[in-house]
Structure 1
Amino acid sequence: MIVTITMNPSIDISYPLESFQLNTVNRLSNTRKTAGGKGLNVTRVLKQLNHEVIASGLLGGYVGEGIKAELNAASISHQFAEISGNTRNCIAILHEGKQTEILESGPIIQAEEVQSFLTQLDDLIPTAEVLTISGSLPQGVPEDFYVEVIKRCNDFEKPVVLDCSGKALQQVLSSPYKPCLIKPNQEELSELLGISLEDPASIKNALMNDLFTGIQWVVISLGAQGAVAKHQDTFYRVTIPKIDVENPVGSGDATVAGFAAAIAEGKDAKALLKRGNVLGMLNAQEAVTGAVNLANYQQLFDQIEVTTF
């Protein structure tokens, strides 16, 4: 079983517009609303891969109840800790080939609500093959919270796939407790290290930083340019084919789902990188966030090139 952790979930609202006009009314007829937050996108893709998965994290209020109802309708198991605040909404405006996001920060979490989640997590960790941690921390949760979660997973020797950025990632990298895999993008890596990264060679050099010692996998996503990855002492360049993009929202989360599935399945390095990247591309080809058409899986899988460099 794979456990997904989403500490700051949301209802994701997508507004597709031919053009976006400021300071006036924009009308549309095709609004999409889905149970979101990065970890729930991971969850849906894992469900489509027929992996046993359980979604966990924090939920509250009428928005939280709506998320639970959607997960129930999709036959997705979940075990969330209840919070007193109302779970947030996040809006993505898709216009003229661009994506403008409006993200609510979410409710302020109380200390006892954090502890309630950790108590539930302690019951889930021993049953998990892999755990994924995705997204930002809500207000009230300590910056080093993911360190505590990873420590508990390390105690049971359970691999963790971590997808976060900023101070939460910095706290993890500075701690003695390590995830199995992290997946920052090029911009996030540049911000983390305070340097400009222009090409795969500069990214490879950056990944030699002692900050990444002890992490089996560091995968740097480059969008349409594929990825650069470090697995222990080996570096990989992932080249992906050009595709027609319908909706890029959630593609990174689909990639995380692929990595988690590959770890659970005991795949080798190249298969892991291909599995993650092909699912990211499949998500980008769909209008619905966290959805993949597996009928196209093998065709794209065979076009991905993974080489050492």
Structure 2
Amino acid sequence: MILTITMNPSMDIAYQLDGFCLDTVNRPLETYKTAGGKGLNVTRVLSQLGESVIASGLLGGKIGEFIQEELDKVTIAHDFYPISGDTRSCIAMLHGEQQTEILEKGPTILKSEAQGFLEKFEERVQTVSIISISGSLPNGLPVNFYEKIITICQKYDKPIVLDSSGDSLKSVLTSEQKPTVIKPNREELSQLLGRNITGDIASLKKALQEELFNGIEWVIVSLGANGAFARHIDRFYKVSIPKIEVVNPVGSGDSTVAGITSALAHAASDEDLLKKSNVLGMLNAQEKQTGYVNMENYAALFEKIKVEEV
């Protein structure tokens, strides 16, 4: 069983537009509303892979009810901790090959709610094999909250895939509590290190050897259309991917995380882990719906991905 954690979920609203214009009316051609937040995108893709998965985190208000109802519709198990605040909404406007996003901060979490979640989490973590943690922390939670979660996971010797950014990620990286995997993109990597990291192999290899990443088994850097670059312990890999027609890139990083988590759960080889994760990211980008993959196209794309040790 895989456990996914979304501390700041949302109702994701995607508007498909011919074009986006400021200071006037924009009428969408299509509208999609989904149970969102990075961790829930991960959850849906894991479910589509046929994995046994349960979603957890914090939910409140009518949008919290909507999210649980949407998960029930696709028979995804969930065990969220209830909060007094209202779960947020997030909007993505898709116009041509561009996207404009409006992301609400979300509710303010009470100290009692934070503690209640951690107690519930410790009970749940003992029943699963691996934990995937995704996204931002809502207001009210301390910047080191992910450290507290990871400490509990390590108490029971459970691997952790962490997909976060900014202060919450840096807090983990500078602590003694290390996840098994992190997945920054190149921009996030540059922010972490305080300098521009280019896409060339030498720059990426030097970056992933920084002391900041000591103790982390896997660091996988997303490079968008240029694939990925990864370090597994002391080995480095360049991942090259084929060109595809992108329909909706929202959620592709989360689909990649789902692939990483699934591969770890099945003790896949380095090559298969990197191929599986990148295939799922591409499959998501080919669909209108966020956090959705068409598995009929999986095998063909898998064979087109090239993984080189460098």
Q: Write the deviation string for residues 95-139 of structure 1: whole angstroms up to 9, x where unpaired.
A: 121010000000100001111111111111111111000000000
State the secondary structure of the residue aligned to 2:79.
Answer: strand
1:204 aligns with 2:202: no
Q: Distance in 2 between matches of 1:73 and 1:32?
A: 16
Matched with 1:132 is 132
1:176 aligns with 2:182: no
1:262 aligns with 2:250: no
Matched with 2:105 is 105
TM-score between both structures, scaled by the size of structure 2: 0.99
Matched with 2:308 is 307
Mapping of residues 158-197 of structure 1, within 5 Å: 158-197=158-197
Give the residue type in structure 2 aligned to 1:85.
G
Matched with 1:57 is 57
Q: Distance in 2 between matches of 1:253 and 1:128?
A: 20
Q: Note if contact 2:4-2:54 (Cα within 8 Å) is conserved in structure 1.
A: yes
Mapping of residues 4-153 of structure 1, within 5 Å: 4-153=4-153
Unmatched runs of 5 consecutive residues or more in structure 2: none
Q: Which moved more, 1:186-195 or 1:197-206?
A: 197-206
State the secondary structure of the residue aligned to 1:149.
Answer: helix
Q: Which moved more, 1:133-142 or 1:117-126?
A: 117-126
State the secondary structure of the residue aligned to 1:190.
Answer: helix
Matched with 2:3 is 3
Give the residue type in structure 1 aligned to 2:73.
A
Q: Distance in 1 between matches of 2:96 and 2:267?
A: 41
Q: Distance in 1 between matches of 2:286 and 2:29?
A: 21
Give the residue type in structure 1 aligned to 2:32.
R
State the secondary structure of the residue aligned to 1:178.
Answer: coil
State the secondary structure of the residue aligned to 2:136.
Answer: coil
Identity of aligned residues (%): 57
CA-CA distance at 1:203 after TM superposition: 1.2
Matched with 1:274 is 275
Q: Distance in 2 between matches of 1:50 and 1:115?
A: 32
1:294 aligns with 2:288: no
Give the residue type in structure 2 aligned to 1:253.
D
Q: Distance in 1 between matches of 2:256 and 2:56?
A: 19
Unmatched runs of 5 consecutive residues or more in structure 1: none
Q: Distance in 1 between matches of 2:88 and 2:208?
A: 35
Q: Write the deviation string for residues 11-60 of structure 1: whole angstroms up to 9, x where unpaired.
A: 00001101111101111241100000000000000000111000000000
Q: Note if contact 2:179-2:216 (Cα within 8 Å) is conserved in structure 1.
A: yes
Matched with 1:253 is 254
Matched with 1:220 is 221
Q: Write the deviation string for residues 202-251 of structure 1: whole angstroms up to 9, x where unpaired.
A: 01111110111110000000000000000000000000000001100000
TM-score between both structures, scaled by the size of structure 1: 0.99
Where do 4+ consecutive residues of structure 1 move more than 3 Å? none
Matched with 2:285 is 284
State the secondary structure of the residue aligned to 1:89.
Answer: strand
Q: Note if contact 2:18-2:29 (Cα within 8 Å) is conserved in structure 1.
A: no
Q: Distance in 1 between matches of 2:269 and 2:198?
A: 29
Q: Distance in 2 between matches of 1:33 and 1:164?
A: 23
Q: Distance in 1 between matches of 2:8 and 2:103?
A: 11
Please tell me the root mean square deviation across aligned C-alpha atoms, in Å: 0.6
State the secondary structure of the residue aligned to 2:30.
Answer: coil
